């Protein structure tokens, strides 16, 4: 029984590694945070993230399945350079 539990725990760990995440901070040119801005991304090898609105700190965390990177980030519909899995990106808009 203990071996089976260890195996299940190992599979859960592997599953969590195969998810992607990138946090995007959107700021005005003066450096202040932009809240309620729609952010999404196009994932390498196809697919899009769900739209996420920035919070009061101007941050939105994009998540996706698979261990891939983001090809492009879209802020209020405007295309920007992508990000690697685990990155924190600041964009001026």
* Number of separate domains in the chain: 1
- Within a domain: residue 7? no
Using CA atoms, how far apart are residues 14 and 32, in angstroms rounded to an integer?
A: 38
Question: Tokens 């029984």 label which residue?
Answer: 1
- Within a domain: residue 8? no
CATH number of the structural domain spanning residue 77 = 2.60.40.1120
pLDDT of residue 46: 82
- Within a domain: residue 6? no
- Within a domain: residue 61? yes
What is the percent of the chain where pLDDT is above 70?
81
Using CA atoms, how far apart are residues 78 and 74, in angstroms rounded to an integer?
A: 5
Residue 33 DSSP class = B
pLDDT of residue 75: 96
- Within a domain: residue 39? yes
- Within a domain: residue 13? no
Torsion over CA of 69, 71, 77 and 80, rounded to 10 degrees?
100
Question: Tokens 């350079």 label which residue?
Answer: 81
The kind and range of the H/E element at 5 are helix 2-17
Q: What average pLDDT does the segment 15-31 reach? A: 83
Q: What average pLDDT does the segment 13-28 reach? A: 74
């Amino acid at each position: 029984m203990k071996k089976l539990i260890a195996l299940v725990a190992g599979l859960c760990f592997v599953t969590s590694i195969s998810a992607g995440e990138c946090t995007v901070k959107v700021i005005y040119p003066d450096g202040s945070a932009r809240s309620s801005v729609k952010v999404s991304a196009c994932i390498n090898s196809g697919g899009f993230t769900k739209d996420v609105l920035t919070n009061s700190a101007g941050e939105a965390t994009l998540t996706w399945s698979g261990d891939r990177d983001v090809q492009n980030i879209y802020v209020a519909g405007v295309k920007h350079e992508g990000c690697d899995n685990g990155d924190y990106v600041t964009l001026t808009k």
